[in-house]
Amino acid sequence: MDSCRTPANASKCSGTTMECFMVLSTQAQKISISILCGLFGTMCVFENSLVLYLIFSSPGTRKKPSYLFIGSLALADILASIIFVCSFVNFHVFNKAGFSKEVFLLQLGGVNTSFSASLSSLLLTALDRYISISRPSEYKLLMTRKRAWTALGVLWVTCATIACLPLLGWNCCVLDSACSELFPFVDDNYLSGWICLVVVLLGCIISAYAHVLRRARQHVAYMEKHQGQVGKQNTRMRMDVMLAKTLVMVLAVLVLCWLPVLVLMIYSIFARLSDQLRKVFAFCSTLCLLNSMVNPIIYALRSKELFSSLRRLFSHFRRQLKAAEESPEAESTHKSSVIET
């Protein structure tokens, strides 16, 4: 395996063996991580797949830029869950490190691409809501499907490019620089840059939602003042306010789930991490899966269109089950009537 510097607090490990980063020392810790990853990962894939189906199976939702961005968020969460769970469990639970540096960085690039795309999709959704609620008369001209697909294409290409920089050469082995204490082969400067990117994205999202909430309060005050006025514009205001509140809930969950991980990442750049803190980081990483699992639940509970589509889907399944249960009875009744005749 290539030689590069190991974390300062992992000096007891020789060379660049990735065993230095396998911090789960007891069987109970490994079982706990396996249960968390299995539960969160499975639910995340199921729920986000359901969200994608509800969006793209309905002509009314798949044509709206708002739901295209939510679909991108769901897709990113699915990919993040699959890649993260497989690589994380394989590394920390089964302690398999017999692959090359390039394979590890490719897996890490996949995780970073997915989580970065998830966060960036949320930013596009925030900007979409800001345009919709601040300039409703110009929204359809400003936010077209073509522009939405173009923005999503740029988003995914940019996230993949940034995430693959360590694989392309920006790693501590090629540069002979200090490695991160949390990720094998990852250069500290690259980790600092990625953290800055995440902080900037969160700052832009918070700023956009601050404007959205301010306009939402203005719309609520307007609707309370003109309760007797019923019209298309009033209905659109209610939809904007509802979706704005929904996405604020998503943002709150995002910050709560990502904050511990980001704090430990930032701390690792300026100070040495103890083995105990590195174990805490491993467990906090599963909160990212929890965030991806909670988002679809919020959509189903808060989005009237997705909730209506979900109710229709369940009603369709119930009718099919009822028909399947009644079919044998009807067939046996038909046979008995033939015999009696």
In terms of C-beta density within 10 A (0-12 exposed, 13-18 middle, 19 or more buried), how is residue 105 classed?
Answer: buried
Q: Are 269 and 191 in contact (CB under 8 A)?
A: yes
Residue type at position 271 = A
Q: pTM of the entire structure?
A: 0.82
Two structure tokens written together for 197: 């990117």
pLDDT beyond 90 at 113: yes
Q: Is pLDDT at 82 greater than 70 in this prediction?
A: yes
Report the alpha-carbon distance of residue 202 to residue 120 in Å, rounded: 9
For 105, phi then psi, to 5°, come to -65, -30
- pLDDT of residue 156 exceeding 90, the answer is yes
Residue 187, beta-bridge partner list? 179
Domain ranges for the chain: 25-225+243-307
* pLDDT value of position 10: 41
CATH superfamily, with its number, for domain 25-225+243-307: Rhodopsin 7-helix transmembrane proteins (1.20.1070.10)
Indicate the residue type of 101: K
32 Cα distance to chain centroid: 22
Mean pLDDT (whole number) for 253-276: 87
Mean pLDDT of all residues belonging to the chain: 80
Distance of alpha carbon 234 from alpha carbon 219, whole angstroms: 9
